[in-house]
Amino acid sequence: MLLAVLGSSSARVAPTASLLRAASLRCSSFPARGVSSRSPSLAARVARVHARPTAMASASSPDAYGEHSVVAASGGRTPADAALADALVASGARVVLGSKSFTRRAILTSMGIEHDVVVADIDERAIRRDDPEDLVLVLAHAKADAIVRRAETDEATAEAIADAFLVTSDQVVVHDGAIREKPEDAAEARAFIASYGVTPPSTVGAIVVTDVRTGARFAGGDRSTIVFAPVPGETIEHLVREGECMSCAGGLMVEHPKMAPLVKEIQGSMDGLMGLSKTLLGDLLGKALEARREAS
């Protein structure tokens, strides 16, 4: 059985978490509440990602979107990121990201954290909650549950997550009081993106770190808000034509080179807006590392 470990940070939380908190922008939080087979689609299900702490490749054009866009928006690798990555290496702990999100993979890689990727493959729209904080937390737990359950019967998944810290997360956009998930179609994506230049959107995210060795879980959430200038029609069409916005909650791509110049104000953090708060992740992995040390 998986044990939920909740509550505030103790004085003995690993120093990496404190460093990460100090190095990032403001990040509000809310308290936590109570791969199929390796063949034929191994690359799509279980992938080894080698962290590259050095500078990422440049884009071929100023408007091109890629890993470099995520790294630039998140501030690249900070001393706190390096401390966290070093603590993970020193402990021998492995990290598995339970997400196919390109942005989350890019953030982890830019932090210098080597990780595996195992996709949960749950029907997110089958899980509904009215409260956005509750929704993302339930979904992050559901993704962890799905991966852990699959490991009980699937050898490839069991091998991929063995003895690891499994990181699962979810995010929604809240705009004018309504919860927004991934756009259903291009028309909805256009409407979403245009609206962000009228009234500011907020992102609500949750991260769950599961220690697969012990079953202990560490969970928390974050919220950020961003203010844009009016979004030109050409920018909207570029984003929809490119297609990446269809995979993002609310179609929101704050890090995209076409959207970045329109940013007027941020309350929270860019990495939180992009779907993986480095502050929160560092805090939860710090707690997981400390709990594993105490248990050994």
Give the active site residues: 170
Amino acid at 50: H
Which residues in 182-232 belong to E strands, given as ranges?
A: 202-211, 216-228
CB of 178 within 8 A of CB of 169? no
Task: From residue 15, give the alpha-carbon distance in Å to each of 18, 86, 283.
Answer: 5, 12, 9
| Contact between 219 and 207 (Cβ < 8 Å) | yes
Residue 167 CA to residue 227 CA, distance in Å, equals 29
271 three-class SS: helix
Distance of alpha carbon 174 from its chain centroid, rounded? Answer: 17
Q: Taking a C-beta distance cutoff of 8 angstroms, is the pair 270, 222 a contact?
A: no
**CA gap 113, 82 in Å, rounded:** 8
Alpha-carbon span 56 to 202, nearest angstrom: 28
Distance between CA atoms of 19 and 166, rounded to whole angstroms? 22
- Integer Cα distance of 175 and 199 in angstroms: 8
C-alpha Rg value of the chain to the nearest Å: 18
| Distance (Å) of CA 96 to CA 33, 226, 263 | 23, 29, 32
